[in-house]
Structure formats: C-alpha cells, structure tokens
Amino acid sequence: MSEFFPRTVATDRLRLERLTLDAVDVFDLYAICSSDPGIDEVTEYVTWDPHETVKETRDWLVESEKRWDAGEAAEYVVRPREGEDGAGEIAGATILGVDWERDVGELGVWLRRRFWGRGYSGERAAALLAVAFDRLDLSMVAVSHLDGNEKSRRAVERYVEAHGGRYEGHLRRSRETADGTVVDEHRYTILRAEYRASRAET
C-alpha cells in the first residue's frame, strides 16, 4: 500500500516531505521536540510529551518509516517554501493515517509555536485531503482535536467546512494522552462525495 503515498507534497507556501531519518537531522528534530520555545504549549493538546532523549526522537522516526512501509500512515515533515519566513526550516509534522478495512483516513498535525497563525494547518490539510480522496480514493477522512484546544478547533472548523464536511460530535473519554490521562475529543468528518461537491462549487 505504501507506494500509493506521495513522498513529497507541495502547496503554495509549504513543502511536505516524507518523515525519515534521511529527511531530517535527528539532533535538530530532538532540539525542536524537547526544548523549542513554546514546546509546552505545542504539546498541551497532543498525545506526546516533549522528548527527553535523542533516542526517543530517533525511535519516532523509525516508527514513522515502519508505518509508511506497512501502508498504515503517511507522515511528513512540514517546511515553509521559499519566500516564507523560516523557509526550509522544520515547521512541524503532519500525518495521514489510513484504515484500509474501513476505507477511512485520519489527519493530524503539530506546528512549532513560531509558525502558528499563518494558516498552515488548513493549507496542509487541503493538500492531504487531495491525496486521500483523489489519489487513494478513500470514502471518508476524519480529524479530531482534544477538548479545550480552541486554536485547533477554529482551524479544523474552517477547513472542514470549506471542504464540505461536518462536526460529528463530542466523544467523551475517547483519547489517552502520553501521561495516561483519558480525555475528551471532538470529531469531524468529510465524505468523498462532500469533498468532490465542494470542489465542483469553487
């Protein structure tokens, strides 16, 4: 299945590259994931904590490569393109997970604090939705955010609505964080037919 995932995806302002040991310097990524300014804010509403060792970062990259090779997920490093502030730097990472039996994709993303507020989340979401529906022909894509994450809520609502999707609901005690805390999340979905109808309208 993994051959279906594009190794790079380009948007107007971003370049998504397959997340591998060759694509990023593990020490640079460790510095970002452990002590980047604002890392506590970045990780407050995601399912991982700031990395404590370089090995933890390397293990994450190895697991990302395994998931890609197994066809389970396409994970990318997000870099601003030329002309953007911070061009070429690691701005964060994004994932398109795939459940082939259910014919469903799921989006996720985290961005360094200095890259917040630029609309990058919606831009990379649009690109990965095109991969999910136009390349992989999935029936549905889901995205969720943890309860209380207002920044993500606003971003998700904008791009889900723009692509014809809808809010599915508040799922209580549905996600476990890195420290074992069980939390609520909010789920949104976009069907293939909704996505294509939204494209036809623009």
What are the pLDDT tens digits along the chain (202 aa)?
457 899 999 999 999 999 999 999 999 999 999 999 999 999 999 989 999 999 999 999 999 999 999 999 999 999 999 999 999 999 999 999 999 999 999 999 999 999 999 999 999 999 999 999 999 999 999 999 999 999 999 999 999 999 999 999 999 999 988 788 899 999 999 999 999 999 987 6
Architecture of domain 2-201: 3-Layer(aba) Sandwich (3.40)
d(CA 197, CA 66): 35
Read off the pTM: 0.95
- The two most distant CA atoms of the chain are separated, in Å, by 49
Per this entry, what is the length of the chain? 202
d(CA 24, CA 16): 12
d(CA 96, CA 129): 9
Instruction: Say if strands 140-146 and 104-111 run parallel, antiparallel, or are unpaired.
Output: parallel
Asked if residues 185 and 144 have their Cβ atoms less than 8 Å apart, the reply is: yes
